[in-house]
Structure 1
Amino acid sequence: MKKIITLIALTLFSITNTNAQRELDSLTYENTQDINFFKSVKNRTLIQKYKTINKNVIQIGDTVILGNPTSQEFSSKTYSGSYGNKARGGISKSRSTTKKTYEFIKMGRPAGFGSIMASLNGDAQSMANNSLKNSKAIVKEIKAYHRGSKKKPLYLVMVLGEMNGRAFGINKYLSVMDTELAIESGEILLKNRKMTRDEAISKLKEAKELMEIDMMSKKEFEDLKKKLRPIIMKKE
């Protein structure tokens, strides 16, 4: 009886320990690049909260907005036909179309039913297109993966759900295949996003031009300069 109790206790401890390794309360960009940290993190580890390279924070339950697509898809179709009572000749025309798509946002879950069916049909999982621009979504899940072996840095995959529990077309979810790059490229917009150093410099230059044409007072410019100084002077 004691052996059985001991075995059950060890099993429960093992399960608890495994689950603990599969979930982290928080993760930072620096953690994802630090081999002393990420070598112990397993693929598919659930992340509750993530801090980006620019110190923006995103967590499960947050609302995000889909920004501008940063990629394009090209497709071409050829139409042909014959003329006359007999097929004496043919006419063919080609039509090419360009569609703006997201580079980091896919339709469906990373390995959901839709992507599995697409793979079976020999098709690549489709990327979200421009029709979803400015759509709001809720962060349902954030998971960490290695860029190869466990000795490689981590990247985060984020699953987004529709605001009212409906679907994005035929897909219930969207997958952000690289959260850091999606945020940095502007494909994913965060609420209360912190201004980057480049953005602060650009804003200050614009303010200086406005001051020079008397569209902004010197005091307003100096106040803005003081506000932006910590962002511009921070070390990268």
Structure 2
Amino acid sequence: MKKTIAFFTILLSVINIQAQENIDLLTYENTQDINFFSTIKNGAQVKEYITTSKNSVKVGDTLILGSPTSEELNTRTYSGSYGNKARGGIAQSRSTSKKTYEFIQMGRPAGFGSIMSAVGGDAQNMADNSLKNTRVIVSEIKTYHRGSKNKPLYVVMVLGEINGRAFGINKYLSVMDTELGIESGEILLKNRKMTRDEAIAKLKEAKELVEIEMMSKEQFDELKKELAPIINSNN
């Protein structure tokens, strides 16, 4: 009897480990629920992720890169010279800047340490403005703890090239925090659901159009009916 119990205990442990490493559906609420995230291992593979705004992202989905939200500044100092002799005390500085993504890194995540460095704001090889409006495919979705195993999860997406287009010397990009990447507009989702704030703003704009007679009362009422479920939601 004891051997049978031990066998099933080991079997359940194996099943549990497999569940920790592969997640069919992960929601934002799961990532914040200690009863759930405390059972998840760093680097667990996710097939589908439901964001805080109830949008779905699946492995194989096509996304579009939005606009970069950061700027990289490089400053170089040059010393003037006559022949081989530098002019003492005379130097010039030249600064150049380029728009870069804050949450989209070139290449695949190079291990857990690299991921934590990126989330912590340390310097990484970030994608730049040349990739704006590029269509990409979701190759992998992974989830990691924000520190120890008793910390909430965040989601990393690995984006692949489409139609053989390479990202420079890289074949992949990494979205180091999916929620922030979407919220900032650096990642544009296909069939993205309108947020409550966006619905309110659209309805306010429509009301102004009615007041200046650029929209009929009937059109406004129809739009109000369409937006009501979003505005009345708890999100």
Per the normalisation by structure 1, the TM-score is 0.85
Q: What is the number of equivalent residue pairs in this alignment?
A: 218
Is the 2:80–2:87 Cα contact (8 Å) retained in structure 1? no
Q: Which residue of 2 aligns with 1:26?
A: 25
Shift of the alpha carbon at 1:55? 0.4
Alpha-carbon spacing, 1:209–1:42, altered in 2? closer, same or farther (3 Å): same
Determine the C-alpha separation between the residues in 2 that align with 1:87 and 1:40.
63
Secondary structure (helix, strand or coil) at the match of 1:26 reads strand
Is the 1:83–1:89 Cα contact (8 Å) retained in structure 2? no
Pairwise CA RMSD: 2.3
Is the 1:67–1:187 Cα contact (8 Å) retained in structure 2? yes
Runs of 4+ aligned structure 1 residues displaced above 6 Å come to 12-16
Letter in 1 for 2:204: K
2:151 counterpart of 1:152: yes
Determine the C-alpha separation between the residues in 2 that align with 1:111 and 1:100.
23
Shift of the alpha carbon at 1:136? 0.6
Q: Which residue of 1 aligns with 2:80?
A: 81
Secondary structure (helix, strand or coil) at the match of 1:48 reads strand
Letter in 1 for 2:213: D
2:76 counterpart of 1:109: no
Is the 2:79–2:86 Cα contact (8 Å) retained in structure 1? no
Secondary structure (helix, strand or coil) at the match of 1:166 reads coil
Q: Which residue of 2 aligns with 1:43?
A: 42
Q: Which residue of 2 aligns with 1:119?
A: none
Q: Which residue of 1 aligns with 2:119?
A: none
2:110 counterpart of 1:125: no
Q: Which residue of 1 aligns with 2:185?
A: 186
* Bigger shift: residues 135-144 or 103-112: 103-112
Is the 1:156–1:179 Cα contact (8 Å) retained in structure 2? yes
Alpha-carbon spacing, 1:215–1:78, altered in 2? closer, same or farther (3 Å): same
Letter in 1 for 2:197: D
After superposition, residues 60-79 of structure 1 pair within 5 angstroms as 60-79=59-78
Determine the C-alpha separation between the residues in 1 that align with 2:150 and 2:131.
36
Alpha-carbon spacing, 1:78–1:14, altered in 2? closer, same or farther (3 Å): same
Alpha-carbon spacing, 1:60–1:35, altered in 2? closer, same or farther (3 Å): same
Determine the C-alpha separation between the residues in 2 that align with 1:13 and 1:55.
32
Is the 1:65–1:190 Cα contact (8 Å) retained in structure 2? yes
Give a deviation string over 1:16-54, Cα, whole Å, max 9, x none. 653332001000000000001110011110000000011
Alpha-carbon spacing, 1:156–1:87, altered in 2? closer, same or farther (3 Å): closer
What percent identity do the matched residue pairs reach?
Answer: 72
After superposition, residues 184-223 of structure 1 pair within 5 angstroms as 184-223=183-222
Is the 2:79–2:87 Cα contact (8 Å) retained in structure 1? no
After superposition, residues 133-172 of structure 1 pair within 5 angstroms as 133-172=132-171
Determine the C-alpha separation between the residues in 1 that align with 2:63 and 2:52.
18
Is the 1:83–1:90 Cα contact (8 Å) retained in structure 2? no
Alpha-carbon spacing, 1:235–1:80, altered in 2? closer, same or farther (3 Å): same
